[in-house]
């Protein structure tokens, strides 16, 4: 069951459960709720939209041709098969095939064109409206305060010709996709939606003021030098580090932002170069596991008879494709510091831009692959409220916030997401989090009695809680440090099994919204945890009551945007 | 089988009759696994190598079933909950013990349900839903009146203490 189904499932139970429920979902209003939208408020998408629908048809077509060729080659051998493919006799079939493909293409474009004529969107005071359909008409409205994330997406067609679509995700239900639009228009539209929804959420009054024609003329502002005062955890609260870091622009040369959708004047705070992407992917554990799976196929590729060659080839290609596609999704990752949060832009064939408002980040996991130790690279994963709905399987969920960053870069991003760790000396604390073993000044390690469950990496395990964050450290040579924001934990639990109990061990789980961060601290001392657990319950209650998360305003001031 | 989690908390147990529900469901599940095994074993009716495996499997299932019979009462008694000032604490399990703490302000829904077995004994199950799927907290085997009382109380508390995510 996918996350989306699960979410819908939850929503359905909500709907059935009458007067006592107090659900927070219910995002897309029912037909009857929607007030009529003045006809002149409706905007159209770009006329190229119907043509883009052809893309998926042609992909199917190409796959069909490829499977035809490979079956032909398997029957008759590679050379003979290819010969037959280009013989006169085959030419006739090619002609018919191409003719059919053309007719279908034209039909698809025509139908899409009819659909496109009825497609429009509107930004109004009561939300974003989107309507489609000729026979089955559909009018959807997403209220401003229900919008979870707004992203700009470009598929291959858009990448080549400079179009994109704006995807709006609201809790629980399907996304609203506004597109295609010109890329500059996408950027402006996203910026406007973000601006309004922030005002709507804080309860301020707002006017929707979106005029794409004006925005299109807006010039792209180039970014200047990065101000020296940009903060980072390692520079906070310790004068020693400031010397190390000052004047140093780690991986952040003054690169002008030339991308067409970057109309906000944002600061680039992280960039993944191709070299690092490549090396980091090749040295990741995932790659070696893949290699292990591919290996037999490669062997058979070299030893197999000609007849079987295509089957092995397809297997190898499939695996290479899956590797490359994971590489593609992280390609050229760039993180910008924008007014509305951290903006992530990544992907080669499918470029997505997503803004993560600081208050939506619930947990952050920073981890290091075994082979990355020499470069001190770390990757960041985050758990974001409302994101799981967006990341359906075929889209490849946002696995990495960044694939690999140097420690300074990672520290800076961490600082941008977490205001305060609740310790006096951040530097000392983080050093213990990233390098420490066993119990230390801050961390509570796992007892020796757990060695039987975890002989190698036990010493790396550790647990820490302040009023601001819970930090779970694990792994010894390949490490991972998870930060969970105290005021975002939903509930927590202690768990122990028969063997663990005998050794006086317990696991503690922090339940957060669905995301990529693992939030269980394993093999902790039962006796200590009994009292500590209630301490932690108190801390998180306190954190929620005080609301330790920053508002967007405070965040802006802190990071200086 | 000591219950190690949450000492010092005065857990309220579920209804005494809940163990019967556990017993019935154990029997039903046991039969679902056991019957096909026995039927197959009888049809193949051999005590030689491949056929005898079925008997062994059936015996293993039977033993597991018998062991579970011994523990149903304790399993039922291990389930307990406490309503604290700010949170609900739920404990369950004897082999795999779990103690969950759900702050009232985090509850998004409180569901009351009763399957055919629970219904037969006049019992209900209450489920607490938060924004985290992993919360997964259920209290099975409480009386219907108690379930209604809890639902109303938790819902009211949840609404008054509701917090953002």
CB contact under 8 A, A509 and B134: yes
Residues with Cβ within 8 Å of B105's Cβ and at least 6 positions away in sequence, in order, are: A544, B86, B157, B158, B161, B162, B163
| DSSP tag of A137 | -
Query: What pLDDT tens digit does each residue of chain A (561 aa) get?
Result: 343 443 443 333 333 322 333 333 333 334 444 457 787 888 889 988 888 878 777 877 887 877 777 777 667 666 676 677 777 777 788 888 889 889 988 998 898 899 899 899 988 888 888 888 888 888 888 878 777 778 888 887 887 788 888 888 775 556 788 878 888 888 888 888 888 877 777 767 667 766 655 443 333 333 333 333 445 554 333 322 332 333 333 332 222 223 434 445 678 899 999 899 888 888 888 778 777 777 776 676 666 555 556 666 676 776 677 667 667 888 889 998 887 788 888 888 778 888 888 888 899 999 999 999 999 999 999 988 766 544 443 344 457 899 999 999 999 999 999 988 889 889 999 999 999 999 999 999 999 999 999 999 999 999 999 989 999 999 999 999 999 999 889 999 999 999 999 999 999 999 998 888 989 999 999 998 888 899 999 999 888 888 777 888 888 888 887
- DSSP bridge pairs for B13: B80
CB contact under 8 A, B133 and A14: no
Q: Rounded distance, CA A391 to CA A385, Å? A: 12
Whether B82 has its CB under 8 Å from any CB of chain A: the answer is no
Whether B165 has its CB under 8 Å from any CB of chain A: the answer is yes
Whether A12 has its CB under 8 Å from any CB of chain B: the answer is no
Do A517 and A388 meet the contact criterion of CB atoms below 8 Å apart? Answer: no
CA distance B98 to chain A (A): 4
pLDDT digits (tens, 9 = 90+) for A260-314: 344 456 788 999 998 998 888 888 887 787 777 777 766 766 665 555 566 666 7
B-chain residues near A497 (CB < 8 A): 95-97
Q: Rounded distance, CA A385 to CA B49, Å? A: 56
Residues with Cβ within 8 Å of B89's Cβ and at least 6 positions away in sequence, in order, are: B6, B9, B11, B81, B82, B99, B100, B101, B102
- DSSP bridge pairs for B92: B98
Do A470 and A490 meet the contact criterion of CB atoms below 8 Å apart? Answer: no
Considering only CB atoms, B86 lies closest to which of A514, A530, A541, namely A541
CA distance A260 to chain B (A): 34
Please give the backbone phi and psi of residue A114, each rounded to the nearest 5 degrees, phi first: -60, -45
CB contact under 8 A, A490 and B111: no
In this predicted structure, the answer to whether residue B91 has a pLDDT above a threshold of 90 is yes
Structure tokens at B156: 């009211």
Do A72 and A84 meet the contact criterion of CB atoms below 8 Å apart? Answer: yes
Locus of tokens 């989306």:
A4
HEC sequence for A83-118: HHHCCHHHHHHHHHHHHHHHHHHHHHHHHHHHHHHC
CA distances from A197 to A14, A147, A188 (A): 25, 7, 14
Residue A110 sits at the vertex; the CA angle it makes with A107 and A111, to the nearest 5 degrees, is 85
Q: What confidence score (pLDDT) does residue A303 get?
A: 66
Q: What confidence score (pLDDT) does residue A258 get?
A: 32
**Using N-to-C axis directions, what is the helix angle for A309-330 and A274-282, rounded to 10°?**
130
- Residue A429 C-beta-side C-alpha neighbours within 13 Å: 24
B-chain residues near A6 (CB < 8 A): 133
A-chain residues near B133 (CB < 8 A): 6, 514
pLDDT digits (tens, 9 = 90+) for B115-144: 888 989 999 999 998 888 888 899 999 999
- DSSP string for residues in B83-113: E-SSEEEEEE-SSSEEEEEEEGGG--EEEEE
ipTM above 0.85, yes or no: yes
Residue of B nearest to A12 (CA): B109
Give the residue-averaged pLDDT of B45-49: 69
Considering only CB atoms, B4 lies closest to which of A501, A519, A544, namely A501
CA nearest to A485, candidates A473, A469, A465: A469
Give the residue-averaged pLDDT of B154-163: 79
Structure tokens at B21: 């529900």
Q: Pseudo-torsion of CA A527, A533, A538, A543, nearest 10°?
A: 140
Q: Rounded distance, CA A281 to CA A271, Å? A: 16
CA nearest to A345, candidates A527, A183, A556, A174: A183
Whether B96 has its CB under 8 Å from any CB of chain A: the answer is yes
pLDDT band at B53 (very low <50, low <70, confident <90, very high): confident
- DSSP bridge pairs for B129: B109
CA nearest to B103, candidates B146, B163, B13, B149: B163
A-chain residues near B158 (CB < 8 A): 22
- Residue B41 C-beta-side C-alpha neighbours within 13 Å: 17
Please give the backbone phi and psi of residue A136, each rounded to the nearest 5 degrees, phi first: -95, 95
CA distance A446 to chain B (A): 18
CA distances from A287 to A280, A346, A397 (A): 10, 20, 18
Max Cα distance, chain B (Å):
68
Please give the backbone phi and psi of residue A208, each rounded to the nearest 5 degrees, phi first: -80, 125
From the CB of residue B161, how many other CB atoms can be counted at a distance below 10 Å? 16
Neighbour-count burial of A127, counting CB atoms closer than 10 A to its CB (0-12 exposed, 13-18 middle, 19+ buried): buried
Q: What confidence score (pLDDT) does residue A264 get?
A: 55
Whether B110 has its CB under 8 Å from any CB of chain A: the answer is yes
B-chain residues near A24 (CB < 8 A): 108, 131, 165
CA nearest to A412, candidates A393, A430, A398, A437: A430
Compute chain A's Rg from CA coordinates: 27
Whether A300 has its CB under 8 Å from any CB of chain B: the answer is no
- Residue A280 C-beta-side C-alpha neighbours within 13 Å: 24
pLDDT digits (tens, 9 = 90+) for A291-302: 777 777 667 666
CB contact under 8 A, B132 and A491: yes
Residues shown for chain B = 165
Average pLDDT of every residue of chain B = 88
Q: What confidence score (pLDDT) does residue A306 get?
A: 56
A-chain residues near B153 (CB < 8 A): none
CB contact under 8 A, A492 and B100: yes
CA nearest to A15, candidates A201, A172, A175: A172
Whether A552 has its CB under 8 Å from any CB of chain B: the answer is no
From the CB of residue B162, how many other CB atoms can be counted at a distance below 10 Å? 14
Q: What confidence score (pLDDT) does residue A32 get?
A: 40
Whether A491 has its CB under 8 Å from any CB of chain B: the answer is yes
CB contact under 8 A, B99 and A21: no
Q: Rounded distance, CA A180 to CA A341, Å? A: 25
Q: Rounded distance, CA A463 to CA A440, Å? A: 10
Is pTM beyond 0.80? Reply is no
């Amino acid at each position: 069951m996918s996350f989306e189904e699960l979410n819908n499932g939850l929503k359905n139970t909500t709907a059935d459960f009458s007067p006592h429920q107090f659900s927070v979902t219910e995002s897309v209003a029912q037909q009857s709720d929607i007030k009529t939208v003045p006809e002149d408020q409706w905007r159209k998408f770009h006329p190229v939209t119907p043509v883009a629908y052809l893309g998926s048809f042609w992909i199917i077509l190409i796959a069909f041709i490829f499977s035809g060729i490979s079956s032909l080659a398997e029957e008759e051998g590679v050379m003979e098969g290819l010969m037959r493919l280009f013989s006169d006799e085959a030419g006739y079939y090619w002609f018919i095939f191409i003719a059919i493909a053309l007719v279908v293409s034209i039909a698809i474009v025509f139908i899409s064109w009819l659909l496109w004529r009825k497609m429009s969107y509107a930004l109004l005071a009561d939300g974003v409206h989107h309507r489609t359909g000729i026979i089955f008409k559909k009018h959807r409205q997403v209220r401003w305060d229900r919008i979870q994330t707004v992203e700009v997406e470009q598929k291959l067609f858009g990448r080549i010709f400079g179009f994109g679509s704006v995807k709006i995700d609201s809790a629980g239900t399907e996304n609203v996709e506004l597109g295609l639009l010109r890329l500059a228009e996408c950027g402006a539209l996203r910026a406007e939606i973000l601006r309004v929804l922030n005002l709507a959420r804080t309860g301020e009054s707002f006017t929707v003021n979106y005029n794409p024609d004006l925005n299109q003329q807006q010039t792209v502002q180039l970014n200047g030098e990065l101000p020296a005062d940009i903060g980072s955890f390692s520079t906070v609260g310790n004068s020693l580090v400031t010397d190390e870091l000052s004047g140093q622009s780690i991986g952040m040369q003054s690169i002008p932002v030339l991308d067409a959708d970057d109309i906000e004047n944002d600061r680039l705070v992280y960039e993944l170069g191709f070299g690092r992407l490549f090396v980091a992917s090749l040295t990741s554990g995932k790659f070696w596991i893949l290699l292990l799976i591919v290996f037999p196929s490669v062997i058979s590729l070299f030893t197999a008879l000609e007849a079987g060659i295509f089957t092995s080839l397809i297997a190898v290609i499939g695996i290479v494709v899956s590797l490359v596609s994971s590489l593609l999704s992280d390609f050229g990752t760039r993180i910008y510091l924008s007014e509305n949060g951290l903006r992530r832009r990544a992907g080669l064939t499918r470029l997505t831009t997503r803004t993560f408002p600081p208050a939506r980040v619930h947990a952050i996991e920073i981890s290091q692959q075994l082979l990355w130790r020499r470069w001190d690279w770390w990757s960041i994963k985050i758990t974001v409220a409302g994101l799981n709905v967006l990341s359906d399987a075929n889209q490849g969920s946002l696995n990495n916030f960044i694939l690999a960053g140097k420690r300074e870069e990672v520290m800076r991003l961490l600082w941008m997401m977490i205001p305060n760790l609740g310790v006096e000396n951040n530097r000392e604390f983080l050093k213990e989090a990233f390098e420490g073993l066993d119990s230390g000044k801050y961390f509570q390690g796992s007892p020796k009695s757990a060695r039987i469950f975890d002989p190698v990496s036990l010493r790396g395990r550790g647990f820490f809680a302040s009023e601001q964050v819970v930090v779970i450290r694990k792994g010894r040579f390949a490490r991972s440090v998870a930060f969970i924001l105290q005021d975002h934990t939903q509930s927590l639990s202690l768990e122990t099994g028969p063997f663990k109990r005998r050794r006086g061990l317990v696991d503690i789980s922090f339940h957060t919204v669905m995301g990529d961060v693992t939030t269980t601290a394993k093999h902790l001392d039962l006796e200590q945890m009994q009292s500590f657990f209630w301490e932690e319950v108190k801390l998180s209650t306190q954190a929620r009551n005080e609301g330790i998360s920053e508002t967007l305003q405070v965040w802006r001031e802190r990071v200086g945007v | 089988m000591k219950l190690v989690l949450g000492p010092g908390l005065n857990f309220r147990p579920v209804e005494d009759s809940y163990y019967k529900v556990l017993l019935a469901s154990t029997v039903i599940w046991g039969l679902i696994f056991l019957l096909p095994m026995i039927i197959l074993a009888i049809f193949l009716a051999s005590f030689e190598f491949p056929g005898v495996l079925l008997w062994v499997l059936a015996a293993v299932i039977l033993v597991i079933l018998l062991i579970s019979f011994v523990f149903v009462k304790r399993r039922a008694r291990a389930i307990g909950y406490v309503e604290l000032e700010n949170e609900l604490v739920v404990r369950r399990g004897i082999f795999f013990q779990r103690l969950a703490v759900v702050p009232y302000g985090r509850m998004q829904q409180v569901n009351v349900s009763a399957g055919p077995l629970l219904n037969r004994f006049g019992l209900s199950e209450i489920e607490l839903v938060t924004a985290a799927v992993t919360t997964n907290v259920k209290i099975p085997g409480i009386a219907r009146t108690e379930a209604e009382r809890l639902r109303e109380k938790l819902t009211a508390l949840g609404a008054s203490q509701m917090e953002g995510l």
